[in-house]
Amino acid sequence: MNNLQEVWSKRFNHYMTEVQKYMRFVFTGHLALVLVFVIGAVGYQYSEWLKEVAGTFPAEWIVAMAIGFILALSRPVTLLREPDQVYLLPLESKMSSYFISALKWTFWSQTGLPFIIYIVAIPLLKAVTELSSGQIWLGLAVIVVLKYLNVHSEFNYRYANRGASLAIDRITRGVLSILTVQSALTDGYSYVIIFIILLFVYNRTLAKRVKLQPIPYEHFVKVEQNRMMGFYRFANYFTDVPHLHGSIRRRGWLNFIYSIVQYNQKNTQSYLVYRTFIRTDDHFYLWVRLTAISGLIALFVNIPIVTWIVAAALGFATTIQLKYALLSSGDFRMDRLYPVDGSQRKNAVRKVLRLFMVIQAIVVMLCSIGQPLFFVTGILVIAVSELTFQMTKDPSIEY
């Protein structure tokens, strides 16, 4: 425990093992196929749009706002755990070496997204501005400096203020980052230097306050728990995460759906499954998210074959994940105390999925209404969903 670098190394290795364990379920074959078609279609639409984009298009401001917003979101990755609030207290004076490693990983792990956004925006910048290649790549260096300052500033702010009023800090850094990137893209290098100096002074002011404060273990542990919980919730859409328990919401505005189920003993499972699907965040938001993604692609990608492939793939993903989620629940239910036929639950799940997949098909079809043969999209979603439910193996159901 005296070697904090060893502590960080062990925790980092465990963290990477945990991430890799679940990410291999996320990037499966069907998702990779969808991503290939989506990236190809979006790239084609983007290149076609660049041929017609007006010279007055405010590319510099749009790129600056997108990147500045991302740069301001620099949540530190500390890998601290709840027992650290007790066991690391004697080593508080030596924790600076641990946090240096944590901030290095935070910087490198969060630099990729603004890089990708900026690189994707380079053709747009060349189309509507007179910036040279050297000036555009200089903007990339400015982004690196801004990310470094944002990472350290957010860490120092959280350290000094225990995370209180974090929105004010992020808005401040976001505005300065946006103005810096915009100035770099409009040859305002004197302003770039001024804004970077302001961020540097802001960070140094916070760093001085940090020296007077004890380490806010409780806050950093909570931040780390929330960060990992977000990752587990994301992974849970693709595979079962054993230690994750989804939250429940009443959603009273959807109570009218329960009226579909007639009041009799044969519909016991139907009523339970409807309520389980609507009130469980993991199930309901999975359907909402995949429906929204499919609808947005149908709306903005004006290539019918790509829309059909993506809609069918996401219809398959929605059905198979909800089928396994609703059929393989290991929670105790009151219906297990009564002589209810085991096939009733599978039939109930089928009814629920049919209803909500029809709704998904209608949404996607309406979004693709400007395309030729737009009705094919809805038919594909329903057909793929039905085939997926019939042909995939049922999970074990305990009664």
Average pLDDT over residues 310-314: 87
One domain, residues 261 and 204: no
Give the residue, 325 or 364, on which the prediction is more confident: 364
One domain, residues 181 and 258: no
| Cβ-Cβ contacts under 8 Å for 378 (sequence gap 6 or more) | 361, 362, 364, 365
Choose the final residue of a domain: 188, 205, 234: 234
Choose the final residue of a domain: 202, 234, 266: 234
The verdict on residue 295 lying in a domain is yes
One domain, residues 162 and 261: no
> Of 250, 267, 221, 260, which Cα lies nearest the Cα of 79?
221
Average pLDDT over residues 218-236: 88
Report the chain's mean pLDDT, rounded to a whole number.
86
Give the residue, 77 or 135, on which the prediction is more confident: 77
Asked if residue 360 lies in contact with residue 293, where contact means CB atoms within 8 angstroms, the answer is: no
One domain, residues 139 and 184: yes
The verdict on residue 241 lying in a domain is no
The encoded tokens of residue 94 equal: 């030596």
Q: Residue 284: pLDDT above 50? A: yes
Q: Residue 29: pLDDT above 90? A: no
The encoded tokens of residue 254 equal: 């959807």
Choose the final residue of a domain: 234, 265, 284: 234
Q: Which of 186-200, 323-337, 364-378 has the lowest mean pLDDT?
A: 323-337
The encoded tokens of residue 47 equal: 């290149």
Question: In the beta sheet, which residues pair with residue 280?
Answer: 248
Question: In the beta sheet, which residues pair with residue 248?
Answer: 280
One domain, residues 159 and 226: yes
Residue 244 has a pLDDT of 66
Q: Is 323 exposed, middle or buried (0-12, 13-18, 19+ CB in 10 A)?
A: buried
Residue 170 has a pLDDT of 96
What is the count of structural domains for the chain? Answer: 2
One domain, residues 100 and 160: yes
The verdict on residue 49 lying in a domain is yes
> Of 226, 221, 224, which Cα lies nearest the Cα of 77?
224
Q: Is 327 exposed, middle or buried (0-12, 13-18, 19+ CB in 10 A)?
A: middle
Q: What distance in Å separates the CA atoms of residue 129 and residue 264, rounded to the nearest whole number?
A: 68
Q: Residue 159: pLDDT above 90? A: yes
Asked if residue 63 lies in contact with residue 185, where contact means CB atoms within 8 angstroms, the answer is: yes
The model's confidence at residue 347, banded by pLDDT at 50, 70 and 90, is confident
One domain, residues 219 and 264: no
One domain, residues 230 and 256: no
Residue 398 has a pLDDT of 47
Sign of CA dihedral 172, 174, 179, 180: positive
The verdict on residue 98 lying in a domain is yes
Domain that holds residue 304: 252-391
Q: Which of 57-71, 203-217, 259-273, 373-387 has the lowest mean pLDDT?
A: 259-273
Residue 399 has a pLDDT of 42
Average pLDDT over residues 317-334: 75
Q: Residue 57: pLDDT above 80? A: yes
The verdict on residue 384 lying in a domain is yes
The verdict on residue 338 lying in a domain is yes
The verdict on residue 184 lying in a domain is yes
One domain, residues 38 and 137: yes
Residue 280, helix vs strand vs coil:
strand
One domain, residues 225 and 280: no
Residue 237 has a pLDDT of 66
One domain, residues 157 and 299: no
Residue 66 has a pLDDT of 95
Our measurement of the distance from residue 221's CA atom to the centroid of its chain's CA atoms, rounded to an integer in Å, reads 21
Give the residue, 374 or 148, on which the prediction is more confident: 148
One domain, residues 331 and 257: yes
| Cβ-Cβ contacts under 8 Å for 12 (sequence gap 6 or more) | 79, 101, 105
> Can you say whether residue 3 is alpha, beta or left, with left for phi > 0 and alpha for psi between -120 and 50 degrees?
beta
The verdict on residue 396 lying in a domain is no
| Cβ-Cβ contacts under 8 Å for 1 (sequence gap 6 or more) | 7, 87, 91
The model's confidence at residue 178, banded by pLDDT at 50, 70 and 90, is very high
